[in-house]
Amino acid sequence: MNQNLKKAAVRIAGMLGIGRITSQKDSGEIQQAQYQTPLEVASAPRMADFGFSSGLPVGTDVVIAFIGGDRSSPVIIASNHQGYRRTGLNEGETAIYNKWAMEVLLTEKGVFIDAKGKDVEVNNATNVTINASEGILANTPVLKCTGDIIDNCESNTRTLKELRDAHNDHDHVVKNVQKGNDDATSEKTEEQVK
């Protein structure tokens, strides 16, 4: 009986370990990572929460579970990279970040995206709707659009291009410019809106 307890204690003690990532492969149905501990260098599948995925940088600390205490059956269940960890969060805040310090920060005051000077792109959306109760501000030297723009779209169907064209092509009658009560038509404006 004492021998069985000893075996059980050894297996329980060996159920968790700590290692450091030496490489990873992110293809197939589950991510595989190679880790190193003081006892071994081995590979293990990495379990991550559904909807979240990351490529672990070399040197990432990992918690390894050995199923049933069997060291030939490891699985990585948690990770942290000390050098890249996002610090300074207040209680209740959440950050999604990478090793280049780009992040999405969720705070009590709002949502903040820091792209660190890189591009931000939204792809394959049928429609994108921004609901802002007070306004939208774009601090940029140039705002570009490849298609038409319609303002007051709930009551207006004309595009800004149609309004520019109407402005550029219009002329108007100038009343009482000649002898008598004659009218004249002005020339089109010289300053075309483009």
Give the domain extent around 12.
2-80
Structure tokens at 7: 């075996």
Asked whether residue 34 is assigned to any structural domain, the reply reads: yes
Instruction: Please indicate whether residue 29 or residue 9 has the higher confidence score (pLDDT).
Output: 29
Structure tokens at 6: 């000893």
Per-residue model confidence (pLDDT) at position 178: 62
Asked whether residue 102 is assigned to any structural domain, the reply reads: no
Asked whether residue 167 is assigned to any structural domain, the reply reads: no
What domain count does the chain have? 1
Q: What is the pLDDT of residues 93-149, one digit of tens each?
A: 999 999 999 999 999 999 999 999 999 999 999 999 999 999 999 999 999 999 988
What's phi and psi for 115, nearest 5 deg? -90, 0
Q: What is the pLDDT of residues 56-70, one digit of tens each?
A: 999 999 999 998 888
CATH number reported for the structural domain that contains residue 43 in this entry: 2.40.50
Asked whether residue 150 is assigned to any structural domain, the reply reads: no
Asked whether residue 52 is assigned to any structural domain, the reply reads: yes
* Residues 6+ away with beta carbon under 8 Å from 111: 104, 105
Residue 183 — very low, low, confident or very high, per pLDDT cuts 50/70/90?
low
Asked whether residue 165 is assigned to any structural domain, the reply reads: no
Question: Helix (H, G, I), strand (E, B), or coil: what is residue 10?
Answer: helix
Asked whether residue 63 is assigned to any structural domain, the reply reads: yes
Mean pLDDT throughout 1-30?
Answer: 88
Asked whether residue 51 is assigned to any structural domain, the reply reads: yes
